[in-house]
Amino acid sequence: MFVGAQVSLYPMTDGFVDVILGSLRALDPWRDRLRIETDDISTLIVGPPEVLFPALRDLFAEAASTGHHVVLRATLSRGCPGEPDDPICRTGALANPSEPLETRQDAALEALAATADTGQHAAAQFSLYVMGAGDHMLEIMGCIDFLKRSGTFDRSKNFCTRLSGDAGPVFATLQQAFCRFGPPNGHVTIDLTVSANSPTGT
Protein backbone atom coordinates (compact mmCIF):
# COMPACT_ATOMS: atom_id res chain seq x y z
CA MET A 1 0.00 0.00 0.00
CA PHE A 2 1.18 3.51 -0.79
CA VAL A 3 -0.66 6.42 0.85
CA GLY A 4 0.21 10.07 0.67
CA ALA A 5 -0.51 13.56 -0.54
CA GLN A 6 1.00 16.33 -2.62
CA VAL A 7 0.33 19.34 -0.37
CA SER A 8 0.65 23.09 -0.91
CA LEU A 9 -0.04 26.01 1.41
CA TYR A 10 -1.03 29.35 -0.14
CA PRO A 11 -0.95 32.34 2.25
CA MET A 12 -2.34 35.43 0.48
CA THR A 13 0.20 37.85 1.97
CA ASP A 14 3.55 39.45 1.07
CA GLY A 15 4.95 37.44 3.98
CA PHE A 16 3.89 34.11 2.50
CA VAL A 17 7.33 32.50 2.91
CA ASP A 18 7.33 33.22 6.67
CA VAL A 19 3.77 31.89 7.10
CA ILE A 20 4.66 28.67 5.25
CA LEU A 21 7.93 28.09 7.13
CA GLY A 22 6.34 29.00 10.47
CA SER A 23 3.44 26.60 9.92
CA LEU A 24 5.70 23.63 9.19
CA ARG A 25 6.49 23.24 12.90
CA ALA A 26 2.94 21.92 13.29
CA LEU A 27 4.16 18.79 11.49
CA ASP A 28 6.85 18.09 14.12
CA PRO A 29 4.77 15.74 16.33
CA TRP A 30 3.99 13.62 13.25
CA ARG A 31 7.33 13.67 11.41
CA ASP A 32 8.66 10.32 12.69
CA ARG A 33 5.67 8.57 11.11
CA LEU A 34 5.81 10.45 7.78
CA ARG A 35 8.19 10.82 4.83
CA ILE A 36 8.34 14.39 3.52
CA GLU A 37 9.87 15.76 0.28
CA THR A 38 9.49 19.36 -0.96
CA ASP A 39 9.86 21.10 -4.33
CA ASP A 40 8.67 24.48 -5.64
CA ILE A 41 5.10 23.34 -6.42
CA SER A 42 4.18 20.99 -3.57
CA THR A 43 5.34 18.86 -0.66
CA LEU A 44 4.96 15.10 -0.83
CA ILE A 45 3.82 13.67 2.52
CA VAL A 46 3.76 9.86 2.68
CA GLY A 47 2.25 7.94 5.61
CA PRO A 48 -0.82 6.15 6.91
CA PRO A 49 -4.18 8.01 6.81
CA GLU A 50 -4.51 8.12 10.62
CA VAL A 51 -1.30 10.21 10.72
CA LEU A 52 -1.62 12.03 7.39
CA PHE A 53 -5.01 13.67 8.07
CA PRO A 54 -4.24 14.94 11.60
CA ALA A 55 -0.90 16.26 10.29
CA LEU A 56 -2.67 18.18 7.50
CA ARG A 57 -5.23 19.46 10.03
CA ASP A 58 -2.47 20.81 12.30
CA LEU A 59 -0.59 22.36 9.37
CA PHE A 60 -3.78 24.11 8.22
CA ALA A 61 -4.78 25.24 11.72
CA GLU A 62 -1.30 26.69 12.38
CA ALA A 63 -1.36 28.66 9.09
CA ALA A 64 -4.96 29.80 9.69
CA SER A 65 -4.05 31.03 13.18
CA THR A 66 -1.94 33.82 11.60
CA GLY A 67 -5.22 35.46 10.59
CA HIS A 68 -4.15 35.74 6.95
CA HIS A 69 -6.31 34.34 4.16
CA VAL A 70 -4.66 30.94 3.64
CA VAL A 71 -5.55 27.94 1.51
CA LEU A 72 -4.27 24.39 1.91
CA ARG A 73 -4.45 22.32 -1.24
CA ALA A 74 -3.81 18.58 -1.42
CA THR A 75 -3.95 15.74 -3.90
CA LEU A 76 -4.41 12.65 -1.71
CA SER A 77 -3.98 9.12 -3.02
CA ARG A 78 -4.04 5.53 -1.82
CA GLY A 79 -3.43 2.35 -3.79
CA CYS A 80 -2.23 4.10 -6.96
CA PRO A 81 -1.06 1.34 -9.35
CA GLY A 82 2.65 1.68 -10.04
CA GLU A 83 3.51 3.17 -6.64
CA PRO A 84 5.74 0.97 -4.44
CA ASP A 85 4.48 -0.81 -1.34
CA ASP A 86 5.87 1.37 1.48
CA PRO A 87 6.15 0.03 5.07
CA ILE A 88 5.62 3.55 6.50
CA CYS A 89 2.07 3.46 5.07
CA ARG A 90 1.03 0.27 6.87
CA THR A 91 -2.42 0.91 8.32
CA GLY A 92 -5.43 -0.77 9.84
CA ALA A 93 -7.62 2.25 9.07
CA LEU A 94 -9.05 1.08 5.75
CA ALA A 95 -12.52 -0.45 5.69
CA ASN A 96 -13.06 -4.19 5.56
CA PRO A 97 -14.21 -4.99 1.99
CA SER A 98 -16.86 -7.42 3.23
CA GLU A 99 -18.59 -4.75 5.30
CA PRO A 100 -21.76 -3.37 3.72
CA LEU A 101 -21.96 0.34 2.95
CA GLU A 102 -24.27 1.04 5.91
CA THR A 103 -21.92 -0.49 8.47
CA ARG A 104 -19.07 1.60 7.10
CA GLN A 105 -21.20 4.75 7.23
CA ASP A 106 -22.06 4.04 10.88
CA ALA A 107 -18.40 3.41 11.78
CA ALA A 108 -17.43 6.68 10.08
CA LEU A 109 -20.04 8.62 12.08
CA GLU A 110 -18.86 6.96 15.31
CA ALA A 111 -15.24 7.99 14.62
CA LEU A 112 -16.40 11.57 13.99
CA ALA A 113 -18.23 11.74 17.32
CA ALA A 114 -14.90 11.22 19.12
CA THR A 115 -13.17 14.15 17.37
CA ALA A 116 -11.88 17.21 19.26
CA ASP A 117 -12.15 20.82 18.03
CA THR A 118 -9.07 22.89 17.13
CA GLY A 119 -10.61 26.37 17.50
CA GLN A 120 -9.91 27.12 13.79
CA HIS A 121 -12.73 27.33 11.27
CA ALA A 122 -12.26 25.52 7.94
CA ALA A 123 -14.17 25.98 4.66
CA ALA A 124 -13.37 22.92 2.58
CA GLN A 125 -14.36 21.44 -0.74
CA PHE A 126 -13.26 18.12 -2.15
CA SER A 127 -13.85 15.46 -4.77
CA LEU A 128 -13.48 11.76 -4.00
CA TYR A 129 -12.47 9.55 -6.92
CA VAL A 130 -12.74 5.76 -6.88
CA MET A 131 -10.98 4.20 -9.87
CA GLY A 132 -11.00 0.79 -11.49
CA ALA A 133 -13.45 -2.09 -11.38
CA GLY A 134 -16.78 -2.07 -9.56
CA ASP A 135 -19.49 0.53 -9.34
CA HIS A 136 -17.51 3.65 -8.43
CA MET A 137 -20.63 5.83 -8.30
CA LEU A 138 -22.24 3.54 -5.69
CA GLU A 139 -19.27 4.09 -3.35
CA ILE A 140 -19.26 7.82 -4.06
CA MET A 141 -23.02 8.11 -3.43
CA GLY A 142 -22.56 6.10 -0.20
CA CYS A 143 -19.84 8.52 0.85
CA ILE A 144 -22.00 11.56 0.03
CA ASP A 145 -24.80 10.09 2.17
CA PHE A 146 -22.31 9.79 5.07
CA LEU A 147 -21.15 13.38 4.47
CA LYS A 148 -24.71 14.68 4.68
CA ARG A 149 -25.00 13.15 8.16
CA SER A 150 -21.47 14.16 9.30
CA GLY A 151 -22.34 17.54 10.83
CA THR A 152 -19.75 19.25 8.58
CA PHE A 153 -21.76 19.03 5.32
CA ASP A 154 -22.29 22.47 3.81
CA ARG A 155 -23.58 21.83 0.28
CA SER A 156 -23.03 19.97 -2.96
CA LYS A 157 -21.37 21.92 -5.76
CA ASN A 158 -20.63 20.89 -9.32
CA PHE A 159 -17.79 18.33 -9.22
CA CYS A 160 -17.30 18.54 -5.45
CA THR A 161 -18.78 18.69 -1.95
CA ARG A 162 -18.40 21.57 0.46
CA LEU A 163 -17.72 21.03 4.17
CA SER A 164 -17.73 23.71 6.83
CA GLY A 165 -16.91 23.76 10.54
CA ASP A 166 -14.07 23.45 12.98
CA ALA A 167 -10.91 22.06 11.35
CA GLY A 168 -11.01 19.08 13.76
CA PRO A 169 -14.25 17.50 12.54
CA VAL A 170 -13.71 18.75 8.96
CA PHE A 171 -10.38 16.88 8.57
CA ALA A 172 -11.82 13.87 10.46
CA THR A 173 -14.70 13.78 7.97
CA LEU A 174 -12.22 13.84 5.09
CA GLN A 175 -10.23 10.99 6.69
CA GLN A 176 -13.37 8.85 7.03
CA ALA A 177 -14.36 9.56 3.42
CA PHE A 178 -10.88 8.53 2.26
CA CYS A 179 -10.67 5.33 4.36
CA ARG A 180 -14.18 3.84 4.41
CA PHE A 181 -15.31 4.14 0.79
CA GLY A 182 -13.83 2.46 -2.25
CA PRO A 183 -12.13 -0.96 -2.00
CA PRO A 184 -9.27 -1.13 0.56
CA ASN A 185 -6.84 -2.27 -2.15
CA GLY A 186 -8.34 0.01 -4.77
CA HIS A 187 -7.09 3.31 -6.16
CA VAL A 188 -8.84 6.14 -4.31
CA THR A 189 -7.94 9.82 -4.52
CA ILE A 190 -9.16 13.11 -3.08
CA ASP A 191 -8.75 16.54 -4.67
CA LEU A 192 -8.94 18.87 -1.63
CA THR A 193 -9.09 22.63 -0.99
CA VAL A 194 -9.39 24.07 2.55
CA SER A 195 -9.69 27.82 3.05
CA ALA A 196 -9.47 30.11 6.12
CA ASN A 197 -10.07 33.80 6.69
CA SER A 198 -11.41 34.58 3.21
CA PRO A 199 -12.57 38.20 2.89
CA THR A 200 -15.41 36.93 0.68
CA GLY A 201 -18.45 35.83 2.65
CA THR A 202 -19.86 32.38 1.98
Q: Which residues bind its own copies (CB under 8 A)?
A: 2, 4-6, 8, 10-14, 16-17, 39-42, 44, 46, 69, 71, 73, 75, 77, 80-83, 123, 125, 127, 129-132, 136-137, 157-160, 162, 189, 191, 193, 195, 198-202
| Secondary structure in 3-state letters for the chain | CCEEEEEEEEECCCCHHHHHHHHHHHHHHHHHHCEEEECCCCEEEECCHHHHHHHHHHHHHHHHCCCCCEEEEEEEEECCCCCCCCHHHCCCCCCCCCCCHHHHHHHHHHHHHCCCCCCCEEEEEEEEEECCCCCHHHHHHHHHHHHHCCCCEEEEECCEEEEEEEHHHHHHHHHHHHHHCCCCCCCEEEEEEEEECCCCCC
Minimum Å gap between C-beta 99 and its own copies is 23
Q: Which is nearer to its own copies, 14 or 32 (CB)?
A: 14
Minimum Å gap between C-beta 110 and its own copies is 28
Minimum Å gap between C-beta 46 and its own copies is 7
Q: Which is nearer to its own copies, 31 or 69 (CB)?
A: 69
Q: Which is nearer to its own copies, 86 or 106 (CB)?
A: 86
Minimum Å gap between C-beta 21 and its own copies is 11
